[in-house]
Structure 1
Amino acid sequence: MRIALLEDEYEQAQHVQSMLSERGHHCDTFPTGQAFLSAVLHRSYDLLILDWQIPDMTGIDVLESVRAQLNWVVPVVFLTQRDSEADVVRALDAGADDYLAKPARAAELVARINALARRSNPDSEKEVLKYGPFEVNTQRRTITLHGDELTLTDKDFDLTLFLFQNQGRLLTREMLLERVWGLAREINTRTVDTHMSRLRRRLGLNPENGFRIKTIYQRGYRLESMQHPQVDSSSDIRETDRAANA
C-alpha cells in the first residue's frame, strides 16, 4: 500500500516508516499539514496516518480538508498521544476510520491498516464483479461488455481491473507502473499512455457504456462513471484538466 504519514517528530516518523516498510508498504512522511495536504491532494495514496498535534494546524483540520477536497474516499487513521474518549469521538465524527494511541505497536498498526484496506475495497475477493455493462471474472481473467467477451492481453486485464476498482481516483503514471507493472521503474511512463489509449478503444469506454478514462494533465488518469459525474477537487486539477482537453 502507498501510505502518507503526517508526523512532525522526525524520530517517530522514521520509526513508523520503518515499521511499515519492513512489512511491504511504501510510506511517505510529512512534517507539516500544508506539506501533507499538498501531496495528498495531488498524488495517489491508499491510506493516510495523521498525528493530532502538528506545528501549522491540527490533525482534525487536515482531516476535514481531505474529506472536503478529495473526491476519493481514502481511509484515515489517527496515531497520536491524545487518547481521551472525547478526542477519539471527535476524530471519528470528523471522518477518521480508526484511532490508535502512541506508541504504535507494529503488529497492531499493520493489522488495523490491512483491515481498513479490506473494508475500503470489498470487491477484492469476489470472483465476478459488475460495473454497468461490464462484467469482470477475476478467476477466468475475462471481461465482457453487454455479454460479449473482449479480447485483452493479461496486462490489459490487470490495468482494467485496477481502474474499475479505483473509480473516481486520480491514478498517477508512477502508481500504475508500480501496481500493474510491478514497480518496473525502468519502463518509460509512455508505456502507461500507450496502454490507456488502447484500452479506451478495446473497452469501449464512452458515455454510451457509462464510463470514460479522463487524462489529468501531467498527473495521470481517472476512470469516471458517467452516471455519477466526478467533480474535480481542487483548482489545480481543474486547470490541468482544461489544459489536457484544449
Structure 2
Amino acid sequence: MRIAILDDDNSILELACTILTSAGHVCHPFTSGKEMLHQLRRESFDLLILDWQVPDLSGTEVLHWVREKLSPTLPVLFMTSRSGEDDIIAGLAAGADDYMIKPIRRGELVARVHALLRRAYPAQNAAEIVQFGIYQFETRASRVSVNEEPVEMTQKEFDLALLLFNNLGRPLSRAYILEAVWSRDIDIPSRTMDTHISRVRSKLNLRPENGYRLAPVYSYGYRLEQVVAE
C-alpha cells in the first residue's frame, strides 16, 4: 500500500518509513504540510499518517482539507506526542480514524496501519475469488473470467485490472498505478501504462453496456467507474 507520512522530525520520519517499508508498504515522507497538500492534489495514497504540530500547516489543517476534498473513506492516522484525552478526542473529532501516541513502537504502528487498511479496503483482503458483477477474479491463480468465460491476460494486465476493480470509483494517479503494478521499475516507457490500460479495457470489454467505464482523469491518471443503467 502507498502511505504518505507528515512529520517535521526527520528521525521519526525515517523510523516510520523503515518500519512500514519492511512491512511491505511504499512510504512517501513529508516534513511540510503544504508540500503534502501539493502532492495530495497530484497523487493517490492508500493511507495518511499525520503529525499534529508541523510549522507551516498543522496536521488538523491538512486533515480538514483531506476530508473536504478527497475520498471520505481514505484512512488517516494521527501520530503525535500530544497524549491528553482532550487532544485525542479533538483529533478523532477532526476526522482521524485512529490516534497513536509517540514514541513509535514498531508492533503498534504496523498493527494500527494494517487494521485501518483492512477496514478501508476489504476487497483487497478478501478470499481467493473476488466477484464484481459479471467479472470474476481468481487472485492466487491470476485468472479472470467475464460471464464465466475465461479471458487470456498477462500477469501485468491481470494486476492492473484487479487494481482498478479494487479501487472502483477512485481516481488513481499514474505514479500510484506504476508503483502498484510495476513496483519500482520507474524506467518503463510512459506509453507502457497506456497500452496496458487499452488492453485491459478491450479484453474485459469495459463498456457502459457491461456496467463499467474505464476513463482517463486529465493530468492525473485513470478511474474505473460503475455505470448505472438508465
Q: Per-residue displacement from partner, 1:40-84 (whole Å, max 9, x unpaired)?
A: 232021211001112233322211211111137321100011112
How many pairs were matched up? 228
* Aligned equivalents of 1:164, 1:72: Cα separation in 2: 18
Report the counterpart of residue 128 of structure 2 in structure 1. 127
Q: Which runs of 5+ in 2 are unaligned?
A: none
Report the counterpart of residue 107 of structure 1 in structure 2. 107
TM-score (normalised: structure 2): 0.88
* Aligned equivalents of 2:14, 2:128: Cα separation in 1: 39
Deviating more after overlay: 116-125 vs 160-169 = 116-125
* Aligned equivalents of 2:105, 2:143: Cα separation in 1: 41
Residue type of the alignment partner of 2:101? A
Paired residues of 1:75 and 1:120 also in contact (CA < 8 A): yes
Q: Per-residue displacement from partner, 1:91-138 (whole Å, max 9, x unpaired)?
A: 223321211111111221122112222222222231222222222222
TM-score (normalised: structure 1): 0.83
Report the counterpart of residue 238 of structure 1 in structure 2. none
Return the offset for 1:4: 0.8
Report the counterpart of residue 165 of structure 2 in structure 1. 164
Q: Is the partner of 1:57 in helix, strand or coil?
A: coil
Report the counterpart of residue 236 of structure 1 in structure 2. none
Paired residues of 1:205 and 1:213 also in contact (CA < 8 A): yes
Q: Is the partner of 2:88 in helix, strand or coil?
A: helix
Name the CA shift for 1:158/1:41 in 2 (closer, same or farther; >3 Å): same
* Aligned equivalents of 1:42, 1:16: Cα separation in 2: 23
Report the counterpart of residue 68 of structure 2 in structure 1. 68
Q: Which runs of 5+ in 1 are unaligned?
A: 229-246
Name the CA shift for 1:227/1:89 in 2 (closer, same or farther; >3 Å): farther
Residue type of the alignment partner of 1:156? E
Q: Per-residue displacement from partner, 1:147-181 (whole Å, max 9, x unpaired)?
A: 33323223222211111111222323333232222
Q: Is the partner of 2:179 in helix, strand or coil?
A: helix
Report the counterpart of residue 150 of structure 1 in structure 2. 151
Q: Is the partner of 2:187 in helix, strand or coil?
A: coil
Paired residues of 2:5 and 2:27 also in contact (CA < 8 A): yes
* Aligned equivalents of 1:44, 1:143: Cα separation in 2: 26
Paired residues of 1:43 and 1:170 also in contact (CA < 8 A): no
Report the counterpart of residue 94 of structure 1 in structure 2. 94
Taking the TM superposition and a 5 Å limit, the aligned residue runs for 1:154-193 are: 154-193=155-194
Alignment root-mean-square deviation, CA: 2.2
Residue type of the alignment partner of 2:163? F
**Are residues 1:198 and 2:199 paired?**
yes
Paired residues of 1:63 and 1:96 also in contact (CA < 8 A): yes
* Aligned equivalents of 1:25, 1:137: Cα separation in 2: 23
Paired residues of 1:156 and 1:195 also in contact (CA < 8 A): yes
* Aligned equivalents of 1:102, 1:199: Cα separation in 2: 44
**Are residues 1:56 and 2:56 paired?**
yes
Q: Is the partner of 1:73 in helix, strand or coil?
A: coil
* Aligned equivalents of 2:136, 2:219: Cα separation in 1: 31
Deviating more after overlay: 146-155 vs 193-202 = 146-155
**Are residues 1:42 and 2:6 paired?**
no
Residue type of the alignment partner of 1:78? F
* Aligned equivalents of 1:201, 1:11: Cα separation in 2: 47
Report the counterpart of residue 241 of structure 1 in structure 2. none
